[in-house]
Amino acid sequence: MPKRNGKETHASSLDGMLGAMEGRAYRALGGAFATSFYITFKNLQLYSANNINVRQTLGQVMSNTVALLEESDDLRLSAARNYLFVNEVRLRSGRGGFQNFGLLYTEMIRRGVGAIVLHHGIIEEEIENLLMIMNEAPNGEDADGSYIQDRIQELGISTIDVETYVDGEMEVDLEDIAEEARRASINAYFRAIFLMRDIYKEVREDKKLNVRILKRVVQNMVDIVAAGDYTLMALTRVKNHISYLVNHAVNVCVLSIWLGNELGLGKVAQEQLGLSSLFADIGMACIPEEIAEGKEKLSDEEWAEVRRHPLIGSRILLRSGRISEVTIRSMLVAFQHHTHADYPELVPLDRTDIFSRIVTITDAFDAMTTPRPFRQKPMSPEEALNSLSDDEGGRYDPLLIKLFVNTIGIYPVGTLVKLSTGELAVVHRPSLEDGLVNRPLVSVISDAQGDAVENTILDVAERDSGGSFLREIVETYDSMELDMEITDFLAVL
């Protein structure tokens, strides 16, 4: 009898373990649905319904919906008690989860939506209509979700129901959500900085390169970029971290992921691009540190040593372990991304891998805008972008250059600027208006007299009643030039 009880207890325990595993899998699927739903919602604010970004993420929403409906009669996405739920299963913060879940929760509450219910038989076009209606729906204190439900009924869609949010049932702190997203970006950035510092050290000690250790942090960055948080991009403008090589590698990674996202690369491709860009200059770890860190202008002999690093980097990656697609793409980027005259022309531009063409641009931009001991005055972002755009040697892909300019703007997020009205500000977000890449939103940090002021967001594209712009950006600064601490910089983003 005791033995039988032991078997029963074991069976019960096993059932519980299987149930827990199934619960985690269901929660993960629900999280994937909510993430793809939110990203498609945001993509439809930026692109037409036929855009590749929209089609890819909409396809993910549909496949996740089908998978969830196989497990239940309906798919119910609800907002309650500051959390999102999928069929009563609370979604927990995971990789990139908090930003997407918190922001989707906010968008639902703003529109007075307490729950969205999807029924069997739903098709992709109906989900697309729902997201487009949500984007056009009024939001604010008076919104009650009825607009969305009415429009759904007008279109004759019977597979979607929208339930009204009941005031007082739940509360949401928008500042907390924004702060949590900002903190996730900061953590991902500096985690990458410290990991790359250790990796450069290990390579110098002739240890095998560990590619896997960086995969998680790159996945975080991809999710953060997809969620539309600009803190990561802003951090590339602070140039006084641990070492030039480490700082440069992480900045190139962030900028490459942003450009890959705008190009419409899928999530897996963006992760591979991010890893490849981190290892683009890994060969520099084997160059003497006094040369690699560039304490002074290099001699001809030292420059000849530096020119060896693409080949060295490819060899380091080759012996990193199992040859995977990431390893091969990383080797190509390490070998191909230096196309300018100071290096041998290894591969013609039109035969260069797309990752290499992206990293060629982001690598050059970050290098141009970074102070070095032998060149204390870096180019401003505007000067660097002009230099890339005026490329006469065919070194850069012109279509990618145009997309890069549109992605980061003439004044990238995090750039310190002086306004024509005398205030000092930090670029907060790219312009809200298409085509105005030189007129971002800025966060003012001091008035015309130099006195600190509480953060105020201004739109440089704002016009007066006559149609003239109210203010201009007249000068840019480097954070080191103004002796600005990183903590002070982050406080105004």
- 457, containing H or E segment: strand 452-459
What CA–CA distance (Å, rounded) separates 92 from 90?
A: 6
**In a 10 Å sphere around its CB, with 0-12 CB exposed, 13-18 middle and 19+ buried, how is residue 160 labelled?**
buried
Q: Which residues contact 224 (CB under 8 A, 6 or more apart)?
A: 96, 99, 181, 184, 185, 188, 231, 232
272 HSE (CA, 13 A, CB side): 19
Calculate helix-pair angle for 244-263, 267-278, nearest 10 degrees: 160
What CA–CA distance (Å, rounded) separates 211 from 276?
A: 10
pLDDT of residue 95: 41
SS3 at position 68: helix
Residue 348 — pLDDT band, cuts 50, 70, 90?
low
pLDDT of residue 396: 86
**In a 10 Å sphere around its CB, with 0-12 CB exposed, 13-18 middle and 19+ buried, how is residue 246 labelled?**
buried
Tell the residue number behind the tokens 């990656």, with chain if given: 317
Calculate helix-pair angle for 97-110, 2-46, nearest 10 degrees: 60
What CA–CA distance (Å, rounded) separates 128 from 59?
A: 10
pLDDT of residue 338: 67
Query: Average pLDDT in the 471-482 region?
Result: 77
pLDDT of residue 304 exceeding 60: yes
SS3 at position 175: helix
Residue 5 is encoded by which pair of tokens?
């009880």
pLDDT, tens digit, 9 for 90 and up, residues 108-161: 988 889 899 999 999 999 999 999 999 998 877 677 788 999 999 999 999 999
Of 303, 289, 186, 184, nearest in space to 244 by CA: 289
Residue 356 — pLDDT band, cuts 50, 70, 90?
confident
Residue 378 — pLDDT band, cuts 50, 70, 90?
confident
- Bridge partners of 417, per DSSP, are 425, 476
> CA-CA-CA-CA torsion for 393, 395, 400, 405, nearest 10 degrees?
-70
- Residue pair 432/459 in contact by the 8 Å Cβ criterion: yes
Of 343, 341, 353, 345, nearest in space to 273 by CA: 353
Q: Within a 10 A sphere around the Cβ of 108, how many other Cβ atoms?
A: 26
pLDDT of residue 362 exceeding 80: yes
Query: Average pLDDT in the 12-35 region?
Result: 63
pLDDT of residue 238: 74
pLDDT of residue 23 exceeding 80: no
Determine the residue type at 444. V
Query: Average pLDDT in the 5-19 region?
Result: 39
SS3 at position 63: helix
Query: Average pLDDT in the 231-238 region?
Result: 85
Query: Average pLDDT in the 380-390 region?
Result: 89
- Bridge partners of 442, per DSSP, are 427, 458
Of 205, 166, 174, 193, nearest in space to 250 by CA: 193
**In a 10 Å sphere around its CB, with 0-12 CB exposed, 13-18 middle and 19+ buried, how is residue 377 labelled?**
exposed
* More confidently predicted of 148 and 290: 148
Cα–chain center distance at 89: 27
Q: Indicate if the alpha-carbon torsion angle 59, 273, 388, 459 is positive or negative.
A: positive
Average confidence score pLDDT of the chain: 79
Tally of helices (H runs) and strands (E runs) in the chain: 18, 10
Which backbone phi and psi does 443 adopt, to 5 degrees? -105, 110
pLDDT of residue 62: 96
pLDDT, tens digit, 9 for 90 and up, residues 410-454: 888 888 889 999 988 888 888 767 678 888 888 888 888 888 877
What CA–CA distance (Å, rounded) separates 27 from 18?
A: 14
Determine the residue type at 247. N
What CA–CA distance (Å, rounded) separates 1 from 29?
A: 42
* More confidently predicted of 101 and 87: 87
- Bridge partners of 163, per DSSP, are 115
Query: Average pLDDT in the 248-266 region?
Result: 91
Of 453, 452, 442, 449, nearest in space to 415 by CA: 442
Q: What is the DSSP letter of 209?
A: P
pLDDT of residue 294: 62
Highest mean pLDDT: which of 2-6, 54-58, 302-306? 54-58
pLDDT of residue 116: 95
- DSSP states along 472-487: -EEEEE-TTTTT--HH
pLDDT, tens digit, 9 for 90 and up, residues 392-414: 667 888 899 999 998 888 888 88
pLDDT of residue 230: 85
pLDDT, tens digit, 9 for 90 and up, residues 159-207: 999 988 765 444 445 455 567 777 888 888 988 998 988 888 888 888 8
pLDDT of residue 401: 92
Of 442, 436, 434, 428, nearest in space to 410 by CA: 436
What domains sit in the chain, N to C, each tagged with a CATH number?
10-172 (no CATH), 176-407 (1.10.3210.10), 416-491 (no CATH)
Cα–chain center distance at 236: 12
pLDDT of residue 22: 54
Query: Average pLDDT in the 201-227 region?
Result: 83
